[in-house]
Amino acid sequence: MDMAFGEAGEGRAWAGRRSDLRPADFPVCEGMIRNYCALVEDANPRYWEDGESPPGMISVWSFPPPWSPGGRPRRYLFALEVPLPGRHIVNVSYDCEYRRPICAGERLLIQDEVLAVSEEKATRLGRGHFITTRTTFHVEEEIVAIWTNVLYRYDTEEVER
């Protein structure tokens, strides 16, 4: 995964920055839903028979495939575009609000926003910054889900305890 590097002040200036609204790389599809449900052994008929996407699949629809023709740029996490020091990341929290089911055949539109970048913090892992982002999922004009994520971006230097 590519990360942008910069000074802490540059990164904190990203609070409030939004990405362009972009289409998901592929539509929500029954085959991927069923494959996911088979992997996690979820027999819910809404997923198997009605084509509803399980809540746990939200990241499937937002992350790009690992390869695509023409080498199109891939965005995994908007937080990695925030210019900060730190070569390591760990996810701290993840919260998703669903406003309605997401169904096979729908094409999601996705927009990311940096909500906050903390001052430098020292943890057992090292020194770094907490980055809070929000990803909004739309079907046409309707917001169908909102994903809020916090990750810690840090370097592994000795930290006083």
Q: Token pair 């027999």 is at which residue?
A: 43
Using a pLDDT cut of 70, give the percent of the chain over it.
94
Closest of 79, 72, 62, 82 to residue 22, by C-alpha: 62
Domains of the chain (ranges plus CATH)? Answer: 8-155 (3.10.129.10)
- Residue 145, CA distances (Å) to 5, 110, 150 in order: 30, 10, 17
pLDDT confidence of residue 160 = 55
pLDDT band for position 161 (50/70/90)?
Answer: low
Q: Is 144 exposed, middle or buried (0-12, 13-18, 19+ CB in 10 A)?
A: buried
Residues paired with residue 113 on neighbouring β-strands, in sequence order: 18, 134
Digit-coded pLDDT (tens) for 48-103: 999 999 998 998 888 887 777 876 666 678 899 999 999 999 999 999 999 999 99
CB atoms within 10 A of CB 55: 11
Would you give the DSSP letter of residue 7?
Answer: -
Amino acid 150 reads: V
| DSSP string for 66-101 | S--GGG----S-GGGGS--S-SEEEEEEEEEEESS-
pTM beyond 0.75: the answer is: yes
Digit-coded pLDDT (tens) for 117-133: 999 999 999 999 999 99
Using a pLDDT cut of 90, give the percent of the chain over it.
80
- For all residues of the chain together, what is the average pLDDT? 91
pLDDT confidence of residue 93 = 96
pLDDT confidence of residue 147 = 95
Closest of 156, 141, 154, 160 to residue 3, by C-alpha: 154
